[in-house]
């Protein structure tokens, strides 16, 4: 048998686009090319639409100066609206912290009096003994002058409070110098006599906020807000 002749097949001609046909990936119409240019893309012959970064779909966006100014103005407006609320909340927190410190000092005075079986005093550190904002001391008053003197046992000392927090006191007796005394039974008493009951209140204020620490004749302490509590928080003693 005669072998079948092998006919060499010429390589297939590379596919070429028809005359007038757009290249692959190029915009089909001038309008499409214009839209692509506005979007930041560039038609590259023989390639897909390429963005400025070289990615096929990458689009870099930015802010104009006017847009940036609008954002800054809006941020300032929002900040100005939030500032009063933030200041108000900060004042409430600081006032509550001062109330907690004073109440803790009163409780410590009472517990020390019970533990030691004798009278213990709490008084302002200021020389005149009137300004509680200057800080306070818990001590045993050996000489009976209601002041923490050198040589007398100092049980606790609290640093001054902020200058914008004011504290006033009103008790049934001995308002100057101010003090709070507890006897061995855990009841408030006069500095002169452990058998004489003495009660009253400390009023704290910062800005528009106020609190009152009320001590009754049994030595029990409660805190109230003169605003919402009304008459229940108006008296110096109860």
Please write the tens of the pLDDT for every residue from 13-31: 444 545 555 545 555 555 6
Cβ(204)–Cβ(102) below 8 Å? yes
The residue-averaged pLDDT of 141-164 equals 94
Query: Quick one: pLDDT band at residue 3, thresholds 50, 70, 90?
Result: low
Which value, to the nearest 10 degrees, does the dihedral of the CA atoms of residues 98, 101, 106, 111 take?
170
pTM of the model: 0.65
How far apart (Å, rounded) are the C-alpha atoms in residues 84 and 104? 30
Give the model's pLDDT for residue 87: 81
How far apart (Å, rounded) are the C-alpha atoms in residues 120 and 191? 9
Q: How many CB atoms lie within 10 A of CB 16?
A: 7
Query: Quick one: pLDDT band at residue 34, thresholds 50, 70, 90?
Result: low
- Beta bridge pairs of residue 154: 139
CATH architecture type of domain 74-233: 3-Layer(bab) Sandwich (3.55)
Give the model's pLDDT for residue 68: 83
pLDDT at 218 over 50: yes
Cβ(180)–Cβ(188) below 8 Å? yes
How far apart (Å, rounded) are the C-alpha atoms in residues 70 and 62? 14
Give the model's pLDDT for residue 73: 82
The full set of domain ranges for the chain reads 74-233
Which distant-in-sequence residues (6+ apart) come within 8 Å of 180 by Cβ?
A: 106, 109, 121, 122, 123, 171, 188, 215
Cβ(113)–Cβ(184) below 8 Å? yes
Task: Please state, for a pLDDT cut of 70, what percent of the chain lies above it.
Answer: 70
Mind spelling out the 3-state secondary structure of 101-135? HHHHHHHHHHHHHHHHCCCEEEEECCCCCCCHHHC
* Least confident residue range of 81-90, 107-116, 185-194: 81-90
Cβ(149)–Cβ(91) below 8 Å? no
How far apart (Å, rounded) are the C-alpha atoms in residues 96 and 40? 59
Name the more confident of 217 and 82: 217
């Amino acid at each position: 048998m005669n072998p079948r002749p092998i006919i060499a097949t010429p390589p297939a001609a590379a596919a070429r686009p028809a005359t007038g046909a757009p290249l692959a990936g190029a915009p089909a119409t001038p309008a499409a090319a214009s839209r692509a240019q506005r979007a930041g893309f560039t038609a590259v012959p023989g390639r897909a639409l390429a963005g400025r970064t070289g990615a096929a779909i990458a689009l870099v966006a930015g802010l104009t100066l006017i847009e940036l100014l609008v954002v800054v103005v809006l941020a300032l407006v929002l900040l100005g609206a939030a500032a009063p609320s933030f200041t108000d909340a900060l004042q409430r927190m600081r006032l509550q912290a001062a109330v907690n410190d004073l109440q803790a000092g009163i409780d410590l005075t009472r517990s020390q009096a019970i533990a030691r079986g004798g009278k213990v005093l709490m008084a302002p550190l200021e020389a005149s003994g009137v300004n509680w904002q200057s800080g306070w001391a818990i001590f045993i008053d050996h000489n009976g002058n209601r002041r923490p003197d050198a040589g007398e046992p100092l049980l606790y000392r609290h640093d001054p409070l902020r200058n914008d927090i004011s504290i006033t006191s009103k008790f049934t007796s001995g308002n100057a110098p101010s003090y709070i005394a507890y006897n061995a039974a855990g009841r408030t008493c006069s500095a002169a006599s452990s058998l004489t009951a003495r009660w009253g209140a400390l009023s704290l204020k910062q800005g528009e906020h106020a609190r009152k620490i009320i001590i009754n004749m049994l030595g029990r302490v409660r805190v109230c807000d003169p605003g919402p509590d009304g008459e229940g928080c108006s008296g110096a003693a109860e």
